[in-house]
Structure 1
């Protein structure tokens, strides 16, 4: 069922422009009502923190996922103290479920015993309007010696895309030399060779780090919404990066919000305003412990 259009104002630029998102997910305030902002509402106020508004997860499909990896594997060179982590919202469903992920994990080359145990049903889910979005992960292992893999499944757990990550980057200005103590947050973007995410469709993904035959992994779901309305897309083109990030965050579009702020922070790590925005966003989804981890210019799908 399609939800009514959401209407927002993007600071002084958006004057009640319709989002144009017509899928079954939406961002709401604490009362359950859709959020509205009048034009110029923030004009005379200090910059408000960028906080993410959780969308409503899809009703179809089984909730679940794993935002943090399990115990560190023996042959991994551990450069960081935090676990393997997907930078993605976690929804607490308030119940316990049998994850029953053995079949799914076997397709992703993961047979971790921990994945089949009964555990808290945290729904690891994010929303995007992009056909080939970026995913962000904190990797505590040496990027010099660890093999990384990304797997994308459809709603029936059929493998749509699976590939190893290259430690190279297309950024000509990159000076990365990965040594034994390299660890941090990486960005990976679905390449043109990967199938485009279809609107109003939910997908299942895995990110795996191989140190032995049994990898460590994180997993979650992502759904693609219908594209933004023409008016909203045109207004975003003339908005500042911060206004764009605020708009995406208020509309529950995680991939767009995280990628915009993450790329700005990686390129301007000494800018205090950008740092505050990065910290505020991660804090709003309980990932503030990662806000000071380095953002590495790595990696790409091979």
Structure 2
């Protein structure tokens, strides 16, 4: 495929030593499964939890090209905003879980960026340190058939976290299908690709028991139920809503910490926009 620069990866057989990147030595041990969608998701206890605990689901077989949660790019961008936020530097990052994988042929470590959702048009979250008007963004969603949906993203005047929600008029994600997403940042001066991150998202169907619990739950309880069942994007989006209402709400920081992204917990959410196609 080609947009800005060619992103080609050779799909290899991966022997997955599955371990979610988290703070400390916590590891996720998961049984092999034929399909995340065919698998009945565990139902969280009805007992209220004090904090959301993200339970990473097993990585499904057939996962293809590795992703990239933190920025990639080799060229500079004249007059581009410096990646500085708070009192220290932060890299362009997707706020998503990462699995470690090993290529059985080469033995080289790589990472698989994959999160689950139940939403037909979910929200994706990123930390972006690059400022307008020297840079601009482009979000691309690719389905299993290779069809691309390309969206323009206006960046902000200050570094921070942004949420990107698919438009109500966009084609909804299909249950049981995996989609590849790319978030590219370009230099305004020459329209050349500057930095990018990429990963996968998969939509699943809720089982009736969990659906029933969610219908009766508060927002805080929904964050924990989604997290306990490994549904990352739904949990994080609700946590973001709670965080915007009260900076003291612990759910946002706790979720980010469980996937090794605690450094972004105190960064401001500077925008939440609806994507429109180019």
TM-score, structure 2 length as denominator?
0.75
Structural mapping, 1:107-256, within 5 Å: 120-159=109-148, 161-166=149-154, 178-179=156-157, 182-211=158-187, 212=190, 213-229=192-208, 232-256=210-234
Q: What residue number does 1:78 align with?
A: 82
Deviations, residues 28-64 of structure 1 (Å, cap 9, x unaligned): xxxxxx5763x54x5xxxx532121101222124141
Distance 2:252 2:143 in 1: 31
Question: Is 1:266–2:244 an aligned residue pair?
Answer: yes
Q: What residue number does 1:55 align with?
A: 57
Who wins on radius of gyration, i.e. which is larger?
A: 1
C-alpha displacement at 1:96, in angstroms? 7.4
Distance 1:262 1:277 in 2: 8
Aligned residues: 233
Please tell me whether the aligned partners of residues 54 and 258 of structure 2 are also in contact (alpha carbons under 8 angstroms).
yes
Q: What residue number does 2:5 align with?
A: none
Aligned-partner SS, 2:193: coil
- Structure 1 spans left out of the alignment, 5+ residues: 1-20, 28-33, 99-117, 168-177
More strand by share: 2
C-alpha displacement at 1:77, in angstroms? 1.3
Please tell me whether the aligned partners of residues 266 and 296 of structure 1 are also in contact (alpha carbons under 8 angstroms).
no
Distance 1:78 1:96 in 2: 38
Distance 1:232 1:199 in 2: 17
Aligned-partner SS, 2:251: helix
Deviates more, 1:54-63 or 1:257-266: 54-63
More helix by share: 1
Deviates more, 1:236-245 or 1:121-130: 236-245
CA gap 1:24/1:294 in 2 versus in 1, 3 angstroms: same
